[in-house]
Amino acid sequence: MVEIPSLLHAGYHHPVQRPWQAERALTKASLVYPIFISDQPDDKYEIKCMPEQYRWGINRLAEFLDPLVAKGLTSVMLFGVVRPAHKDARASIADSPENPVIKAIPLLRSRYPNLHIGCDVCLCDYTDHGHCGTINDDGTINNTDSVKRLTEIALAYAKAGADYVAPSDMMDGRIKAIKQALLDFGIAHRVSIMAYSAKFASGMYEPFRDACDSAPAFGDRRCYQLPPSARGLARRALLRDANEGADILMVKPGLPYLDIVRDAKNDFPNHPIAVYQVSGEYSMLWRAAEAGVLDLQRTVIENLESMLRAGATIILTYYTPRLLDWLSA
């Protein structure tokens, strides 16, 4: 007598049946593409260690995005890059009309009326010291002042037309402050908050520092980003942000933190969970494929499907342009 529950192969023998075994399918609509907007309007600067990724000036956004939108790009997250001379201790350029993100939003809005446009909110791209908050005389983070600046910046992007703001700073209490500011301004119904809630102090952000020219001038970010082994802190950070009004909870980086993604989905089954496949993950896969070690398409899709399996429904990835092709085939 055959033991029926031991027979699994038939359930995935036919290729059509394999996706039926997935809880969530990888679709173009799951993807958010992080993009870098330069303050030099004609710029197309190839980012070191991130092949095929560029900082784009606002005069070149159409050339860059027209083909991607045509292929089904639905959501972007904007990062601004400004020249060092425009940075200061309080990130003044972050919410000035001269900010490249603030200039880009209305252009994108009018050219792509259906595109979902979000903005990373942080100080590190715009501070001369490169930290994600403002700094006390003793070199520590001034959390109260940082939250004030982050709130002003988030509100500026929302007023410029962003559909969502994504605070990546990891300061205490910023989600609540930003939600309140959106409410006070009467736009809380149309602007959501994607909270970088469980953002770990990772070695895999290294290529991003060239993308945004945002390496800290002194010290590191370990006093506000989470220690890599801290599962409990991550769950508390997710809980804190959920309680403060985050609409979407994010875990970052992706692949090494899929247990945290699962924790997030288990603890918050009623929130969408996002995961950020960061610059180092992008580069590792790229370089391995370039060296002939693995097949890029197959492995990228495997990585992303693992993120979905862990509980995410939103994936931020620099592979989005490639995926729009792969998922069309």
Instruction: Verify binding: residue 204, Zn ion, rule CB under 5 A.
Output: no
Question: Among residues 185 and 284, whose Cβ is nearest to ligand FVT?
Answer: 284
Question: Among residues 87 and 265, whose Cβ is nearest to Zn ion?
Answer: 87
Number of neighbouring beta carbons within 10 Å of residue 198: 28
Instruction: Verify binding: residue 135, Zn ion, rule CB under 5 A.
Output: no
Of residues 87, 179, 252, 265, which has the active-site annotation?
252
Tokens representing 111 are: 């050219």
Residue 199 a catalytic site member: yes
Instruction: Verify binding: residue 168, ligand FVT, rule CB under 6 A.
Output: yes
Q: Where are the beta strands (DSSP E) in 253-324?
A: 273-277, 314-317
Instruction: Verify binding: residue 283, ligand FVT, rule CB under 6 A.
Output: no
Residue closest to 181 by CA, chosen among 142, 134, 224, 147: 147
d(CA 118, CA 320): 15
d(CA 266, CA 252): 17
d(CA 141, CA 304): 34
- Determine the size of the site formed for ligand FVT (CB under 6 A): 7
Instruction: Verify binding: residue 278, ligand FVT, rule CB under 6 A.
Output: yes
CB 121 → ligand FVT: shortest distance, Å? 9
The binder of ligand FVT chosen from 39, 95, 120, 213 (CB under 6 A): 120
- What does each C-alpha distance from 151 to 144, 154, 173, 273 come to in angstroms? 11, 5, 10, 23
The binder of Zn ion chosen from 75, 168, 317, 320 (CB under 5 A): 168
- Would you name the residues annotated as active-site residues? 199, 252
Residues that bind ligand FVT (CB under 6 A): 120, 122, 168, 205, 208, 278-279
